[in-house]
Amino acid sequence: MKSNTLNRKNPLLSIHSFLMMAFIYIPVIVIIVYSFNDSRLSMSWEGFTFDWYLSLLDNRNVMEALKNSLIIALTSTIVSTVLGTMAAIAMRKLMSKSKGAIAGLLYMPIVVPDIIMGLSLLVLFSQLGLDLGKTTVIIAHITFSISYVYVIVSSRMANMGNQLEEAASDLGATQWETFRYVVLPSIWPGVIAGALIAFTLSIDDFLISFFVAGPNSSTLPIYIYSSVKRGISPEINALCTIMILVSVALIILAQWLLNRGNREEKKTSMLPF
Amino acid sequence: MNKRWFGILSPVVLWLCFFMMVPMIAVVGVSFLSRDTVGNLVWTFNISNYTRFFDPLYLGIYWDTIWLSVLTTLLCLLLSYPLAYYITTAGPRTQKWMLIGVTVPFWINFLIRTYAWVLILRTQGLVNMGLEQLGMISEPMQLLYTKGAVLLGMVYTFIPYMVLPIYVSLEQMDKRQLEAASDLGASRWSAFWRVTLPQTKSGIMTGGVLVFVTTTGMFVITDILGGAKSQMLSNIIQNQFLSARDWPFGAALSVIFMISSLIIIWLFNRALRSKYESAKEARA
């Protein structure tokens, strides 16, 4: 129940909120609309076309960047999902004085500004004598994705009691069996959601990749950045539209997975923590 | 028992130590080195990278950066608070959809969201085209590559970072206190200023720190919307590492950036705590 004092509607407040939502979405809509505009340079509407999407397919740089982005995102997602999930499972059980310090370490990649993370990894890789390329980008992406997977899987486990595990071991299940048949099935949606988020973060990352990518490992965001620096083009609008749709679809899927099964919790848990 | 959990944790802990802690410590180390003419690191200890920061040129850029971050934070707060308030008071369905509405932009690449403003603001962009067709201007205005464009891009990018923490603190507020205030004869305004606003201070602070610190590190927005004219601290850092190849100076600037961020977080926390404690004392 809401109190009356809060609930009285102020028309100015409604107008402001409407304008704010418009402010948030109009630029995104502009990109999407103009990716279908049949004019290379003008912003006036010259008719609907699908050509810019088709010409992306013929653009070797775009296809190369897409290939790099997918390799990097898939590899870093698999590694970070395994590591992040292991961390979440172990942290739930750990009783130790060093627990706080480990938690701090696990949150560090979320807290440290991207630019600092990017340049410090650049310093590390160059001192190790590693050539910048896909491997260095993958290492960087694993490093930040671990934290997000950890946070998401942990939040999923926060709603989980110990009763089922205790019952399983009372009934004679070994620890492995308890893990395999009791713990894993109940955290599975969280693990998949974490993996989807890791994948999205990797596909979308620009700042960190910009520091640790080599000349032959440009990702899609790096390609977009260098094209935008050269000027606008309708192909970029089309590429941006595809990236917007893919990210939003992945996030909706992750959100849906996280909320499914959380029946006791009536409120939707919103993703950005 | 604990041994097993430490065993499971060890790969993650080792990974993060090696790829997170060690590199950051290395940056602090590099900030005390120097470089030769080709940009290689020279292992001699010196603090000239820090003294160079006090050159009026860099101090000026530093103050511009702080000023832009302060302005962005304040504008985000002024624009986001009413929106968060509206979301809190809306019916459950509207509330759910509006929350999704402010969350989705988090997941749209900020590079793309910044690029959208290029389409809107450039000389042949949407705004100039629209105004020309309406006959309000005869010559296109220079909107892109200005300080205003940078501010707009920053505020646009960070509004969701401000709305969500304020929404959370409004949602957690004890609404009975508002009823009590109105029963005791407080007007809606005075109830807002004296009950709602103080109680949502933590949300405002969280959002403020988030926006402030992230703005300071955002070189892409100044780069794309501000052009070469508006340089921020993060542009200089990026430039030292990727073009000028003066890593020691770039590292020193990064250390300065991290320390100022920590000071700001500490100040915010202190302001929050002192308010909270004085409220507790008043109750006692």
CATH code, domain carrying B130: 1.10.3720.10
CB atoms within 10 A of CB B148: 12
- At B176, is the pLDDT very low, low, confident or very high (cuts 50, 70, 90)? confident
Q: Which residue in chain A is spatially nearest to B213 when comparing CA positions?
A: A113
pLDDT in tens, A47-60: 899 999 999 999 99
Confidence (pLDDT) at A219: 96
Backbone dihedral region for residue A172 (phi beyond 0: left; psi -120 to 50: alpha; all else: beta): left
pLDDT value at A131 more than 60: yes
- Is residue B17 one of the residues assigned to a domain? no
ipTM reported for the complex surpasses 0.95: no
Is the model's pTM score more than 0.95?
no
Q: How many domains does chain B have?
A: 1
Q: Which domain holds residue B113?
A: 55-283
Q: In A, residues 25-44, which contact B (CB 8 Å cutoff)?
A: 25, 27-28, 30-31, 34, 41-44
Q: From chain A, pick out residues whose CB is under 8 angstroms from the CB of B242.
A: 210-211
Compute the mean pLDDT over every residue in chain B, rounded to the nearest whole number.
88
User: Number of CB pairs < 8 Å for A and B?
Assistant: 243
Confidence (pLDDT) at B1: 66
- pLDDT over 70 percentage in chain B: 96
CA distance B157 to chain A (A): 9
Summarize the confidence of residues B234-256 as an average pLDDT. Answer: 93
- Is residue B5 one of the residues assigned to a domain? no
Question: Which range is most confident: A248-257, A263-272, B19-28?
Answer: B19-28
Summarize the confidence of residues A91-110 as an average pLDDT. Answer: 90
pLDDT value at A222 more than 70: yes
Hey, where are the domains in chain A?
11-49, 59-269
Q: From chain A, pick out residues whose CB is under 8 angstroms from the CB of B24.
A: 112, 116, 120
Q: Which residue in chain A is spatially nearest to B29 when comparing CA positions?
A: A123
Q: Are B6 and A3 a contacting pair at CB < 8 A?
A: no
Summarize the confidence of residues A123-149 as an average pLDDT. Answer: 95
Mutation target among B28, B43, B83, B107 for the A interface, most CBs of A within 10 A: B107
Q: From chain A, pick out residues whose CB is under 8 angstroms from the CB of B164.
A: 270, 272
- pLDDT over 90 percentage in chain B: 48
Is A271 in CB contact (< 8 Å) with chain B?
yes
- Is residue B24 one of the residues assigned to a domain? no
Q: Is B217 or A71 the better-scoring residue by pLDDT? A: A71
pLDDT value at A249 more than 80: yes
pLDDT in tens, A197-221: 999 999 999 999 999 998 889 999 9
Is A142 in CB contact (< 8 Å) with chain B?
yes
CA distance A132 to chain B (A): 13
CATH architecture of A59-269: Orthogonal Bundle (1.10)
- Is residue B151 one of the residues assigned to a domain? yes
Summarize the confidence of residues A33-43 as an average pLDDT. Answer: 86
